[in-house]
Chains A and B, each alone.
Chain A
Amino acid sequence: MNIITIEHIAKIYQVGSEEVHALRDVSLTIDKNEYVAIMGPSGSGKSTLMNMLGCLDTPTRGLYNFKNNSVSDMNDNDLASIRNREIGFVFQTFNLLPRSNALHNVELPLIYAGVNSADRKERAIAALENVGLGDRMYHKPNELSGGQRQRVAVARALVTNPAIILADEPTGNLDSKTGEDIMTLFNHIYELGNTIIVVTHEEYIAEHAARIIRLRDGLVEKDEVVRHRYVPNGIAGAVKQEGN
C-alpha cells in the first residue's frame, strides 16, 4: 500500500527578485514498511523535500497524496493534524522543549491529539521504556546525553503511532558510536513494521536503509534498492524486545 505518492512536484522560493528552484520535478512513491534514505549534497533540495514529505510545507506545483489525501490542497489546520497523527519527526538537533522533562516532551504530541492525561502518561511512559529511557523520564534535556536526547525524540516520534517516521540527519550531532546506537534503534523500529525515511548526506548512514533516493539540483538522480543493506547486530542499548 502506498503511503506517499508525489508526482512532478516543484518548490520555488522567492529570494529577493530571484527565483530559487529548490525542487524542480520530483516524483516518487513510498510504501508501507519501507526504509528509505534520501541523500544528496547541500543545495540538492533534500531538506525541501523532507519539509514537503513532512507536511511542514506545501509544493508550488505538483501533486502530493498522503494515504490518498491530497496534501497540496490542505490548509494549515489539516496539515497540523496530519503532522500530529501520521508523521513522527526526528531532527538533527533533537528539538526537545528545553524546560520540560522527557516525559512531558513525549506527551506533547498526544496533548495536541486530544488524548486525556491518564492515557497520555501511560503511552508516553511506554514509549520511553521502548527506547530504553524508563529511568530517565523526569530528566530535562540538559540533564541527558546527546544519544539519550535523540532517544527521547524518537520516543516522541513514535508515541502517536504515526504512518511514517521522518528523520532529518538523526546522527548529525552525535559521535559515531552513539549514532550507531540510534541507527540500531531505527532498524529495530523498522523491523517492527514501521515506515522510516532518513535524510542524510552520509553514505554509511544511508546504507542502513533498504532504498536510497539520491537528489541533485532539485531532481531525482538515482532511486535504487540497496543490495547489501547494513543490518546492525543485536539490539541497541537497553531497547526492549517486543513480541510483534
Chain B
Amino acid sequence: MRNYLFELKEGLLISLRAIRANKIRSVLTTLGIIIGVASVVLMSTAIKGIDQAFQTGVASLGSDNLYIDKWAWFNNDIPWWELRNRKNLQMEHYKKYKDMAKLPLAVAPTSWTQQTIKFQDKSVEFVFVQGTTDEYIRTTNLTFDDGRFFNELESNGGRNVAVIGSEIAKKLFPNGGGFNEYIKIKGNKFKIIGVLSEQGSWVMGNFNPDNQVFIPIENVFKSFSNESFSSITINVRAPNSQMVADVKEEAIGIMRRVRGLKYDQPDDFSINQQEGLLTNINQTIGVIEAAGLVITGLALIVGAIGIMNIMFVSVKERTKEIGIRKAIGAKKRTILVQFITESAIICLIGGMIGLGIAVIGSMIIAQFDFPSTVEIDAVILAVGISLITGVLSGFAPAYTAAKMDPVDALRYE
C-alpha cells in the first residue's frame, strides 16, 4: 500500500512535469473537457434552479388546500369532452357546500377573468383578475406590503375594491405606492385596499399571485362575466395536512348531494390538489433533465475522445522515453499509473476551468432573474466527472504504453 501511494505520488510529479513540458497541447486537449464540464455543471444548476422555482411556486398554493372544480387538473382517465359536458359549478353549489361542510378551515369560491388594468397612462394587459370572497385570504398564505384583504362587508356588498400582486404594483407604480389609489378594470374604478408582498415565483406565470388582482366575486359577475356561463372553483383549506384526506372525503359526499347525483352516477366534479401539480412538474423536469444530461453528456464524450486521442499521440511520441524508463526499472504498472495520472490531471485541470466558467456563466444567468447558483454538489460533480473521464480515456493509451517491449521502445526514433 505504501509502495502504491509512493508510486502514485511519483506518477503525479512525473505527469505534472510532462504536462508543463507540453503546455499548448495540454491546453488544447483540455478544451473539450472544459466545454463538457462547464455545460454539465451549468445544465444541472439550471435544472435545479427551475425545479426549485417550481417547488416554491407550488408550495405557495399551500399543501393543505383542495380545489373543487368542474375540471380535473391532471387527469388521464376521464375524456375531456366528458369534463366539458359537466354542469358548471356555480355560486349556489358553493353556498350549499359551505353550509354543510364541517371540517374545512376556510372555503372560498373563485372565478377569474382576464382583463387590462389601467392606472393613469400605465396599463398591464391580460391580468388574471380573481373574483373571490373575504374567506379566500384564509385559504392562502398571502402576505401584504400595504393594506389588507377585503372584508366580509366589502365582499358581500360587491364593493369596488381590489388587492393587487407585487408584480402588478411594480408595473403600475414603478416608484412605489399604489395603496388607496384607484385603478380601472374595463372602465370600472376600483380602490386598491391592499398590495401583496412578493409571493411565488415566475415559473407559475399567471397563476403566481404576484401577477394577479383580487376583487370581490360579485363584481366579476356584475361587470365581467355572466354568472350562469362561468364555472367557479371552490378553494377549500383543511385545518392541517393530516385532515386533508378527511376533508376530501367529506367534500365528495357533500358535493354529490349538492349536485343531486344518484348512487350509480359518477362524480361530475373533480377535487384537485397541489400534489397532482407536483407530480406533473416532476415528470416534466425529469424529461428536461434527461434530455439535458444526454446532450451535455455527448459534449463530454467528445472531450473524452479528444483526450484519448492526444494521449495516444503522446504515448507514441514518447515511445523512446517509455523505453528508457523501462530499461532503468519502471514496471508495467508504474508506466500505466504514470499515463493514467497524466490524463486524469489534464482532465481535472480542464474540469476546474470548466467549473470556473460555469460559475461565471451562472452568475450571468442569475442577472436575468433566473434562479441559478453553483452549489457544492455541482463542484463534486465537476471533479468527479473530470476524474472519471480522465481515467477512462487515459486507460487505453496508458495500457499501450505499459505493454511496450523495452527493446523495441528503446530502438524507436
Q: A77 on the interface (CB 8 Å rule)?
A: yes
Q: Is B328 in contact with A89, judged by CB distance below 8 angstroms?
A: yes
Q: Apart from A95-B320, A114-B3, A160-B329, what are 7 other A-B pairs with CB-CB below 8 Å?
A: A77-B333, A83-B326, A91-B410, A95-B324, A97-B321, A100-B17, A112-B325
Q: Is A56 in contact with B330, judged by CB distance below 8 angstroms?
A: no
Q: A76 on the interface (CB 8 Å rule)?
A: yes
Number of interface residues of B (CB under 8 A): 24
> Quick one: CB contact mask for A103-141 with B, threshold 8 Å, 1 for yes?
010001101111010000000000000000000000000
Shortest beta-carbon distance, B320 to chain A, in Å?
7
B-chain residues with CB within 8 Å of residue A108 when the two chains form the complex: 325, 328
Residue of A with least CB distance to B14:
A111
Q: List 17 A-B contacts (CB under 8 A).
A: A56-B326, A56-B407, A57-B405, A77-B333, A80-B332, A81-B329, A89-B328, A95-B320, A97-B321, A99-B18, A104-B17, A109-B328, A112-B325, A112-B329, A112-B334, A113-B329, A160-B329
Of the residues B3, B18, B325, B406, contact of A56 by C-beta under 8 Å: B406
Of the residues A89, A99, A114, A116, contact of B327 by C-beta under 8 Å: A89
B-chain residues with CB within 8 Å of residue A116 when the two chains form the complex: 6
Residue of B with least CB distance to A107:
B10
A residues sitting closer than 8 Å to B (CB atoms) are 51, 54, 56-57, 76-77, 80-81, 83-85, 89, 91, 95-97, 99-100, 104, 108-109, 111-114, 116, 156, 160
Residue of A with least CB distance to B20:
A99
Q: Is A111 in contact with B320, judged by CB distance below 8 angstroms?
A: no
Cα A100 to Cα B332 with chains together (Å): 21
Q: Is A57 in contact with B407, judged by CB distance below 8 angstroms?
A: yes
Contact residues of B: prevailing secondary structure: helix
B-chain residues with CB within 8 Å of residue A51 when the two chains form the complex: 407
Q: B290 on the interface (CB 8 Å rule)?
A: no
Residue of B with least CB distance to A97:
B321
Q: B153 on the interface (CB 8 Å rule)?
A: no
Cα A96 to Cα B327 with chains together (Å): 11
Q: Is A80 in contact with B330, judged by CB distance below 8 angstroms?
A: yes
> Quick one: CB contact mask for B308-336 with A, threshold 8 Å, 1 for yes?
00000000000011011111111111100
Q: B24 on the interface (CB 8 Å rule)?
A: no
Q: B21 on the interface (CB 8 Å rule)?
A: yes
Of the residues B17, B323, B326, B405, contact of A80 by C-beta under 8 Å: B326
Q: Is A83 in contact with B327, judged by CB distance below 8 angstroms?
A: yes
Q: Is B331 in contact with A80, judged by CB distance below 8 angstroms?
A: yes
Of the residues B331, B407, B410, contact of A112 by C-beta under 8 Å: B331
Shortest beta-carbon distance, A75 to chain B, in Å?
10
A-chain residues with CB within 8 Å of residue B6 when the two chains form the complex: 114, 116
